[in-house]
Amino acid sequence: MKSKVIQAIKIWVVIYPSITLFNILAGSYLSSLPLVQKTLVLTLVLVPWMVFVGLPFINKLHQKMSKNEKP
């Protein structure tokens, strides 16, 4: 259970700022699109970002922090 909670927190730590930044940068360009198309563009950009960049970075950071905590 603890590992699932930690994984959920890691995902949130990456996805929340990513969605926010994406909306700041591309929100005005996407504002005229229907919701389904906005969601499609959002997921086409952010899912690969999460899988290949965001989560691996957070996992490495978490590993380094975990190693530093052990005596």
- Residue 2 domain flag: no
Neighbours of 46 (CB within 10 A): 17
The count of domains in the chain is: 1
Q: Is the pLDDT of residue 70 over 70?
A: no
User: Does a structural domain hold residue 48?
Assistant: yes
Residue 8 domain-assigned (yes or no): no
DSSP designation for 31: T
Find the domain containing 54 and state its range: 21-69
Choose among 20, 8, 19: nearest CA to 45: 19
Say if residues 7 and 55 touch (Cβ distance below 8 Å).
Answer: no
Residue 10 resides in a domain: no
| pLDDT tens-digit readout, 13-23 | 999 999 999 99
Q: What is the pLDDT of residue 66?
A: 86
Q: What is the pLDDT of residue 71?
A: 60
Three-state secondary-structure class, residue 36: helix
